[in-house]
Amino acid sequence: MKLQICIFLIVSTSIIGCITQSQVDKLDIDTRVLYPYAEHNKWGFTVESGNVVIQPQFDSVSFYSDGLSVVKQNGKFGYLNKNGEWHIKPKYHSANNFLNKATVVIKGSRKYCINQKGRRVKCKTPTIIGMCGNGMLSSSDPSKYVTKKNGKYELLINYWLVDIEGNQTEIPDTSDVGIDTVYRFSREYILLEKDKKYALYKCMGYESEIYGTVDVESFSDRDTTRLDGRLEFVYDEVNYGSNSKRNLYGIEVTHATVRIKDKWGVIDKTGKPLIPIAYHSVQIHNDNLALVEYQHNRKGYREFNQYNYNGDKVTGREFFVR
């Protein structure tokens, strides 16, 4: 009788596929950082050196969290460990990354939480930590820096002239650029559109330039060449946030994807290149990484370039399979 019970338990465990505590504990032991990469629309993983550790075979993958990646295969979601083995086989219609050993999944019409053993658990309400302010800066209002002229937008300019006696005179003026549309961008810059091309204009800091010691009475021609030289309408497309160029909520942009001809890259709020404009496609992942199509049908992650206080660039690392 005892032998029959043991056999029954062993068979039942193998059928159900119970996850042991030992298997869960092993998830924390492997501390490797794996990077998703795609080839011909199938996803796998590489390490920092670019060596493939899990061959591309899945419909989609996520970065690992709590030792597991959310992986989609044949229309269902499951969880993969860093050895490329199914920890929880695909059976969910929707799934999220594990956070603090639990996650939310959807199976059929049911939405519930599971732990790393795949068992249903009570969902915990996330703790909201109160903060003084949200740390977000408002973008500049373009209406403060432009005016309508002959159906186009022109930039408002204030010239400060200094006569031979040192007296300063402010001369309000406008540009002759012929701008079609202006958009919010960052605290210091606004985005300009002309003939379906885009340029960034530094609206803060240029409205009070002194053009040397000049006799006010002899000043008759506007010095617009210096302004026009700062405007380079080089981008064919600029996208940022869920509202693209509109930036309706007025929050300062931290980075944006830009296109010149058929190549994409990423710029920061001042126009510095975070990702070179050299890729077939770019998708921002977070504040430090972007998924780029570096060859046709090959995608991998690349770090943003960083800039120190002197403006020196530190080139971001590439996690590509060559």
What does the block give as tokens for 18? 């119970």
Between CA 257 and CA 265 the distance in angstroms is 6
Mean pLDDT taken over the chain: 83
Span 63-91, mean pLDDT? 97
Span 34-49, mean pLDDT? 96
Q: pLDDT value at position 125? A: 59
Q: Using the predicted structure, report yes or no on whether residue 304 has a pLDDT greater than 80.
A: yes
- Are 203 and 189 in contact by the 8 Å Cβ rule? The answer is yes
Over residues 93-147, the pLDDT tens digits come to 999 999 999 999 999 999 999 999 999 999 875 544 433 333 457 788 888 889 9
Percent of residues, the chain, with pLDDT higher than 90: 60
Between CA 255 and CA 288 the distance in angstroms is 10
Between CA 140 and CA 149 the distance in angstroms is 21
Percent of residues, the chain, with pLDDT higher than 70: 79
| Of 153-162, 233-242, 250-259, the least confident | 153-162
Q: pLDDT value at position 65? A: 95
Q: Which long-range contacts (CB under 8 A, 24 or more apart) does 43-48 make?
A: 43/71, 45/69, 45/82, 45/84, 46/300, 46/319, 46/320, 46/321, 48/317, 48/319
Q: Using the predicted structure, report yes or no on whether residue 41 has a pLDDT greater than 90.
A: yes
Using DSSP's 3-state secondary structure scheme, residue 7 falls into: helix
Span 198-204, mean pLDDT? 86
Using DSSP's 3-state secondary structure scheme, residue 131 falls into: coil
pTM: 0.79
Q: pLDDT value at position 6? A: 43
Q: pLDDT value at position 204? A: 66
Between CA 29 and CA 53 the distance in angstroms is 17
Q: pLDDT value at position 103? A: 95
Between CA 118 and CA 14 the distance in angstroms is 15
State the residue for tokens 């770090």: 303
Over residues 208-246, the pLDDT tens digits come to 344 343 444 444 444 444 455 568 899 999 998 643 444
Residues 6+ apart with CB under 8 A from 169: 160, 161, 162, 163, 216
